[in-house]
Amino acid sequence: MIQTNMKAKTTFQQLVKSRRSIRRYLDKPIDREKILTCIEAARLAPSADNVQPWRFLIIDDPELKARFAREVFSGIYFITKFAAKAPVLIVILARLDIIANRIGKQIQNIHFYLIDIGIAGEHIVLQAEELGLGTCWVGWFNVRKARKFLKVPRKYKIVSLMALGHYEKKPSGKKSKKKLEEIAWFNKLG
């Protein structure tokens, strides 16, 4: 059984414990400096073979964002409309023309670029949390329409969107997370 009563409460532990996906945003713009601090955190993320496949298209122009949101959160994606209220939408792209990623896929059967993007995106999330800003990963949107609207060339894949903004309050209630002993074991799979 894994002990969970570790007493040391580090700043990082507080940060990850307080983070929640935010789906209600204040109508308040975010300083570009803060946005770029988040992107800087992503820039420094690790990546397989250090290929840094991530690219970020930041939409903070309210009119453009509204038009983009109308396109990508329509139809079966209406449930994600909350993200349109965030003052910033970050389009997270991956470069697909990276040879190391192709080799990785062929030999290891792993899309390393998706791992890389996940790490970089989560750096944004945690940096935003430290700055007192809220985020939500948004995977449920019309990728085809997003590509067309933003005129994204073939060499990029749109992997996700990230909503970023100020929030009034965090969602109440305890986080529903699996227990440590359900997900990790020492030396032998449980």
Ligand X SMILES: Cc1cc2nc3c(=O)[nH]c(=O)nc-3n(C[C@H](O)[C@H](O)[C@H](O)COP(=O)(O)O)c2cc1C
Tell whether residue 135 is a contact of ligand X (CB under 6 A): no
x/- map, 71-110, ligand X, by CB under 6 A: ---------x------------------------------
Q: Which amino acid is at 5?
A: N
Q: Which two tokens stand for residue 136?
A: 């939500």
Using CB under 6 A as the binding rule, the residues of this chain from 162 to 181 that contact ligand X are: 175
| 55 Cβ neighbours under 8 A, 6+ residues apart | 92, 93, 94, 95, 156
Question: How, if at all, do strands 156-165 and 54-59 pair?
Answer: unpaired
Stretch touching ligand X by CB under 6 A, among 36-44, 109-117, 130-138, 148-156: 130-138
Nearest-CA neighbor of 82 among 160, 141, 146, 158? 141
Tell whether residue 136 is a contact of ligand X (CB under 6 A): yes
Using CB under 6 A as the binding rule, the residues of this chain from 32 to 71 that contact ligand X are: none
Number of residues interacting with ligand X: please give it, by CB under 6 A.
11
Tokens 């991530």 appear where? Answer: 54
Q: What are phi and psi of 161, to 5 degrees?
A: -110, 160
Tell whether residue 117 is a contact of ligand X (CB under 6 A): no
Q: Which residues bind ligand X (CB under 6 A)?
A: 20-21, 23, 80, 136-140, 160, 175
